[in-house]
Amino acid sequence: MSRRPPDIALAATLHDPPGALADAIAEGLPRLAALYRGVAVATSPPTAARVAAILAAHGAHAGATRANL
């Protein structure tokens, strides 16, 4: 029987233009998904497309912010 995560979500913003965190994000997202009922990450406009694609593939990309403030 698998344990259901508590009703707590993780929301974050991410600014990673060079995509330096792509591998760490891909590796860590499954664990975060096991700990939280939902994971949503909004990326800055210059964040690398590869990072946004990894987040989207895990259902965690909340979209890009309109401005990079």
Q: State pTM to two decimals.
A: 0.89
The confidence score (pLDDT) of residue 2 equals 66
Determine, yes or no, domain membership for 4: no
What HEC string does 23-41 produce? Answer: HHHHHHHHHHHHHCCEEEE
The answer to whether residue 69 is domain-embedded is no
3 in any annotated domain: no
Predicted pLDDT of residue 5: 80
Does some domain include residue 52?
A: yes
Q: Domain limits at 51? A: 9-64
Question: What is the pLDDT tens value at each position of the chain, 69 positions in all?
Answer: 567 888 999 999 999 999 999 999 999 999 999 999 999 999 999 999 999 999 999 999 999 999 887
Domains of the chain: total? 1
Q: Helix H segments across 1-69? A: 22-35, 49-57
- 58 domain residue, yes or no: yes
